[in-house]
Amino acid sequence: MSADAKGVDLYKMTSFLFAGIKSQQRQIDKLAADVEEIKLRLDAGGGIGLERQADSGGLFAGLLAFLENLGVKITQGVVKLNNLAAEMISAKALQTDKLCVGDVCVTGGQLKELLDKNGISSSPTEDSPPITEDSPPSATSDVGNPDVPLPAIDTEPPILTLQGNNPAIVIVGSVYGDLGVVVTDNVDRNLGYEVWRNGELLGRNLSGVSVDTSIAGEYSIDYVAMDQAGNTATSTRTIIVEEQSPVEQAPLEQPSEPAPAEPAPALESPIVGEPAPESIPMPAGEQPLI
């Protein structure tokens, strides 16, 4: 607006337009400098010059030429590299003229000779089925020597043995420390375990886990172990905190009065018999009278 607020101040408008044009020009200059720097870097690396792009059929052809100059060649879906460094390479099949493990390298002929000396066929047999992603693992190798077993797959979970009673009965006000668990596995040794109390993770390899014994209630302590193959097992102990029940005392028995003694039976007086008569001697030759 003009000073009298009745028109447009052309001087101020021109100043705003000029400032905007200068800002836009600075951005254009920066983009031009960035493009020029990219061109210089590409030319220093083997170059995708504008002239080379026009001769080879466009930007894509120039990009292929640039990669080829770096040692990467792409033809009919095959990528060829002069040198490749990677942390890990995953492939269904790997074809090479020389196999190196650390400082030891063997060629195809040396590897074939080594396999033949150990009785292992260096080529698949006609009866060998193709190995696919869906093929189940077998206990022995179908290719080569069938007497050489493949490593068995561990599908057995660890075994957790609780120490102490389960459930554990605790009296209110007493001190409780869980006796823990012993973990064994058919393959792995010295496995650790997680400790959970009422669904809360307390940590690993803990012992003497306590519960609140100030009030009556019920708690659960879970021990979870996992082996190297990913098999997991869980063992749970239940802790019951309860009030101490009153001890019932048996009533004391009153001593019974002794029964009165029975009187002894009276002794009978013996019967005194009369004395037997004395026998009178008979004279000789006489018979006694009957």
Q: Quick check: 158 and 227 in contact, CB under 8 A?
A: yes
For residue 17, pLDDT over 90 is answered with no
Q: Which of 173, 177, 176, 178 shows the shortest CA–CA distance to 243?
A: 173
Q: Name the β-bridge partners of 127.
A: none
Q: Quick check: 147 and 162 in contact, CB under 8 A?
A: no
pLDDT at 143 (0 to 100): 47
217 contact partners, CB below 8 Å, separation of at least 6: 241
Q: Quick check: 221 and 200 in contact, CB under 8 A?
A: no
* 118-148 per-residue burial string, b: 16 or more CB within 10 A, e: under 16: eeeeeeeeeeeeeeeeeeeeeeeeeebeeee
Question: Chain centroid to CA 201: how far?
Answer: 14
Question: Residue 218: pLDDT band by 50, 70, 90 thresholds?
Answer: very high
For residue 217, pLDDT over 50 is answered with yes
Mean pLDDT of the chain, nearest integer: 75
Three state DSSP letters for the chain: CCCCCCCCCHHHHHHHHHHHHHHHHHHHHHHHHHHHHHHHHHHHCCCCCHHHHHHHCCHHHHHHHHHHHCCEEEECCEEEECCCCCCCCCCCCCCCCEEEECCEEEEHHHHHHHHHHCCCCCCCCCCCCCCCCCCCCCCECCCCCCCCECCCCCCCCCEEEECCCCCEEEECCCCCCCCCEEEECCCCCCCCCEEEECCEEEEECCCCCCCCCCCCEEEEEEEEEECCCCCEEEEEEEEEEECCCCCCCCCCCCCCCCCCCCCCCCCCCCCCCCCCCCCCCCCCCCCCCC
Fold category of 159-242 in CATH: Immunoglobulin-like (2.60.40)
Most confident of 147-151, 154-158, 280-284: 154-158
pLDDT at 12 (0 to 100): 66
Q: Quick check: 158 and 174 in contact, CB under 8 A?
A: no
For residue 196, pLDDT over 60 is answered with yes
Question: Residue 32: pLDDT band by 50, 70, 90 thresholds?
Answer: confident
Cα(282)–Cα(196) distance, integer angstroms: 128
pLDDT in tens, 40-91: 766 665 554 444 444 445 566 667 677 777 666 777 667 776 776 777 777 7
Lowest mean pLDDT among 83-87, 138-142, 281-285: 138-142
Question: Residue 110: pLDDT band by 50, 70, 90 thresholds?
Answer: confident
For residue 197, pLDDT over 80 is answered with yes
129 contact partners, CB below 8 Å, separation of at least 6: 135, 142
